[in-house]
């Protein structure tokens, strides 16, 4: 918003000293604000362009110690405000170039990062071959060694948030080695923050998917830290810092703490519907649908259920109000707020809000309008058999751009007014598409072998002839029917089939939804997928039951590895990165993150619901490698040797079992590649697409 451009420049050709120069765009004048530094980092201006801050070091050595400098431009010279001698930061610490420097939006506070002063590396007099090189794994570690190694470089650069209060000329160290993470709100303007300490629960994180931490209320005027919540996973601070709000898994209720009075109130006990994921089929507490935001001055909190939006009183005194009047649940329409202003702190009650809308019954999508201050104001703006998204509002005007797509229509950019009227299409992507056969899509419904009502997507070539016989490939992961109107851009595969490409080449593609039952992920997949395939072959005579294929990647790859041990109805299968042996995978590492794989089997995607020693038979029964003799379907595996998600050896175990049994099996290992082929390696992607 100001008229200054600041930059670092080398002051002379003969020395390695640098300075900061400001260029005034109004009067076309250049001023040198700071000079004679060996290194300058993190130059920043406040929102109004009136205050300057940066880090500078006078050290000529490779290891540099930085100080923090500040100036009120045009009113004061640059001055050093924090250095290694400052008593307000821990002894032996200094401002760090690895932390960001930024002002609060109102310009009253300057935030920066500190850390221990770097030390010069000592030259080792011992010969390199005489130094033991090893990692020591210990039962007392809060983080296992692979995770420590994965995070090593990040931890070396970790900084701890501090604040300089400009008017008071006072520095406060906010974060420390215990409370390492700080949550600021309201564009950093408030005088309170939320400190987060997960350390007491870090060891448990090796097998617990829930993020658990202690939360502290931190006073940004005094630096005082008060423990507010213990062992919680979803806490946040309201924009004016009046309240801490959290969701409690045990009773599925939102709570608030009035920070001034330290009073806790239950906020949602009067809401008669679930506020958590009603479709959760993992053996873990379902996640809440979440918080939409706050109204002005923290007056009300807005939260979601599966379909509707609720207004709740943060003091817990007023009854919750359904802002969408229950219409979402009645019509199976999921309403979600579209934030159009990135600078917005509060949700305006007087303005019409834009809501995205998704109809679960017929998969239509669109936009509705809602004004919180006007009862019964919910109105449909645009709905149809398409998918919409990527909404952006003009910063200085009342116009929107957004995308609309279907399986046959590229996601072109549209321009409209705020009520989604006066629509004009601005782009025409993929015009060459008309020269090719493209897919059509149908939503199909059936009942699984387990009695679950399921949906799936059936793609056919748009030159489809019902009197012909077509091969069908089934592709799946978990649930995909919500993507009925997704456009599939043709491109070489990174791991999965490209639906447009296969339809263009005369294939039918079936994408079934899968509902899982804890302890039986493999059988759940069989009950859903095979029942769906049989339903289609029995009701669609154009599907050639002798030319059925399977394809999936990762979790989809596991399900394929399991399915072919249970049925011979498929002529061929392709499994990417499959887990084949849950007993060995359970104790493995996700090398991409360094995390243990245990939580995945006990609580999340693999859905066993217990440890290997508590439920050994379930691990065995869900491991395809132990049923390898039953496989008769020719199988192509892709498992790459740098896979950081599923251990490469899982693919090898399955390949070796089938190889030993003289079953038709091939494995593709793209050298140096990760879980999916990297986008830039087109030769690999084209090769995989050709072989698949």
How long is the chain? 692
pLDDT at 30: 75
The CA angle 448-449-451, to the nearest 5 degrees, is 65
Structural domain including 589 reads 433-691
**Domain contains 36:** yes
Q: Record the pTM.
A: 0.91
**Domain contains 316:** no
Q: Strands 543-553 and 572-576, how do they pair? A: parallel
Q: What percent of the chain has pLDDT over 70?
A: 98
pLDDT at 21: 78
The H or E element containing residue 575 is strand 572-576
The H or E element containing residue 41 is strand 39-45
pLDDT tens-digit profile of 142-174? 999 999 999 999 999 999 999 999 999 999 999
> In whole angstroms, what is the distance from residue 398 CA to residue 394 CA?
6
Is the separation of the CB atoms in 208 and 125 below 8 Å? no
What are the structure tokens assigned to 421, written together? 């009227």
Is the separation of the CB atoms in 589 and 490 below 8 Å? no
Residue 38: which pLDDT band, with cuts at 50, 70 and 90?
confident
- What's 604's domain CATH number? 3.40.50.1820
pLDDT at 2: 63
Is the separation of the CB atoms in 194 and 216 below 8 Å? yes
Residue 426: which pLDDT band, with cuts at 50, 70 and 90?
very high
Beta partners for residue 665, in sequence order: 635
> What are the Cα distances from residue 552, in Å, to 98, 219, 356?
41, 51, 31
> In whole angstroms, what is the distance from residue 304 CA to residue 278 CA?
12
Token pair 């170039």 is at which residue? 97
Distance between alpha carbon 489 and the CA centroid of its chain, in Å?
A: 23
Task: From 633, 442, 456, 452, select the one nearest 532 (Cα to Cα).
Answer: 456
Q: Can you state the percent helix, strand and coil of the chain, rounding each to 5?
A: 15, 35, 50
Question: Looking at beta carbons, which pairs linking 297-300 to residues 24 or more positions away fall under 8 Å?
Answer: 297/240, 297/346, 298/238, 298/239, 298/240, 298/242, 298/243
**Domain contains 328:** no
**CA distance from start to end of the chain:** 55
> In whole angstroms, what is the distance from residue 382 CA to residue 393 CA?
16
**Domain contains 373:** no
Of 138, 173, 208, the domain-final residue? 173
**Domain contains 579:** yes
**Domain contains 227:** no
Q: What percent of the chain has pLDDT over 90?
A: 86
> In whole angstroms, what is the distance from residue 590 CA to residue 3 CA?
50
**Domain contains 539:** yes
pLDDT tens-digit profile of 3-36? 777 777 766 655 667 777 777 777 777 777 777 6
pLDDT tens-digit profile of 63-115? 889 999 999 887 778 899 999 999 999 999 999 999 999 999 999 999 999 99
**Domain contains 380:** no
461: left (phi over 0), alpha (psi -120 to 50) or beta: beta
- What's 85's domain CATH number? 2.130.10.120
State the total domains in the chain: 2
Determine the average pLDDT of the residues in 639-651. 96
């Amino acid at each position: 918003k100001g008229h200054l451009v600041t930059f670092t420049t080398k002051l002379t050709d003969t020395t390695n000293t640098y300075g900061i120069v400001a260029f005034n765009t109004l009067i076309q004048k250049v001023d040198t604000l700071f000079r004679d530094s060996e290194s300058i980092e993190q130059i920043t201006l406040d929102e109004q362009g009136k205050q300057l801050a940066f880090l500078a070091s006078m050290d000529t050595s490779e290891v540099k110690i930085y100080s923090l400098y500040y100036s009120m431009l045009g009113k004061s010279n640059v001055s050093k405000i924090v250095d290694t001698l400052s008593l307000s930061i821990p002894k032996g610490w200094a401002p760090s170039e690895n932390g960001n420097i930024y002002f609060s939006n109102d310009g009253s506070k300057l935030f920066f990062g500190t850390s221990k002063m770097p030390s010069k590396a000592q030259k080792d007099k011992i010969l390199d071959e005489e130094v033991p090189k090893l990692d020591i794994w210990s039962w007392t570690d809060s983080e296992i060694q692979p995770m420590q190694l994965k995070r090593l470089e990040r931890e070396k650069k970790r900084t701890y948030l501090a604040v300089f209060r400009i008017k008071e000329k006072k520095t406060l160290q906010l974060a420390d080695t215990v409370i390492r993470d700080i949550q600021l709100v309201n564009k950093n303007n408030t005088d309170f923050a939320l400190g987060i300490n997960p350390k007491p629960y870090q060891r448990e994180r090796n097998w617990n998917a829930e993020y658990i931490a202690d939360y502290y209320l931190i006073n940004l005027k005094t630096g005082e830290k008060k423990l507010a919540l213990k062992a919680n996973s979803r806490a946040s601070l309201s924009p004016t810092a009046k309240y801490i709000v959290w969701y409690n898994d045990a009773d599925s209720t939102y709570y608030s703490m009035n920070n001034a009075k330290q009073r806790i109130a239950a906020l949602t006990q009067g809401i008669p519907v679930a506020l958590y994921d009603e479709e959760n089929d993992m053996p873990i507490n379902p996640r809440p649908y979440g918080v939409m935001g706050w109204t002005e001055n923290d007056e009300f909190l807005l939260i979601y259920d599966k379909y509707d939006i609720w207004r709740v009183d943060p003091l817990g005194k007023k009854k919750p109000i359904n802002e969408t009047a229950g219409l979402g649940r009645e019509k199976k329409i999921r309403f979600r707020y579209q934030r159009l202003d990135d600078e917005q702190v509060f949700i305006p009650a007087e303005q019409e809000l834009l809501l995205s809308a998704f109809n679960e019954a017929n998969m239509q999508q669109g936009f509705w309008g809602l004004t919180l201050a006007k009862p019964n104001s919910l109105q449909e703006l645009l709905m149809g058999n398409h998918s919409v998204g990527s909404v952006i509002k003009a910063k200085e005007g009342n116009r929107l751009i957004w995308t609309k797509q279907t399986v046959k229509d590229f996601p072109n950019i549209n321009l409209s007014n705020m009520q989604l009227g006066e629509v004009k299409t601005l782009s025409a992507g993929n015009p060459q598409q008309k020269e090719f056969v493209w897919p059509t899509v149908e939503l199909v419904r059936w009942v699984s072998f387990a009695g679950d009502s399921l949906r799936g997507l059936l793609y056919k070539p748009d030159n489809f002839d019902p009197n012909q016989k077509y091969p069908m490939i089934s592709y799946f992961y978990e649930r995909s029917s919500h993507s009925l109107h997704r456009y599939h851009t043709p491109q070489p595969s990174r791991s999965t089939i490209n639906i447009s490409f296969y339809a263009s080449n005369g294939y039918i593609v079936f994408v079934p939804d899968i509902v899982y039952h804890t302890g039986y992920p493999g059988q759940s997949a069989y009950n859903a997928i095979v029942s769906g395939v049989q339903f289609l072959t029995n009701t669609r005579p154009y599907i050639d039951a002798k030319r059925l294929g399977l394809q999936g990647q990762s979790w989809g790859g596991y399900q394929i590895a399991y399915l072919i041990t249970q049925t011979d109805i498929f002529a061929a299968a392709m499994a990417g990165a499959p887990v084949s042996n849950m007993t060995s995978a359970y104790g493995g590492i996700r090398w991409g993150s360094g995390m243990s794989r245990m939580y995945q089997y006990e609580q999340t995607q693999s859905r066993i619901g217990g440890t290997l020693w508590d439920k050994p038979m379930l691990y065995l029964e869900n491991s395809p490698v132990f049923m390898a003799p039953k496989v008769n379907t020719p199988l192509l595996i892709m498992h790459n040797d740098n896979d950081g998600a599923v251990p490469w050896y899982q693919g090898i175990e399955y390949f070796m079992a089938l190889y030993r049994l003289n079953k038709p099996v091939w494995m593709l290992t793209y050298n140096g590649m990760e879980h999916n082929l990297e986008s830039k390696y087109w030769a690999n992607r084209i090769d995989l697409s050709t072989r698949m």
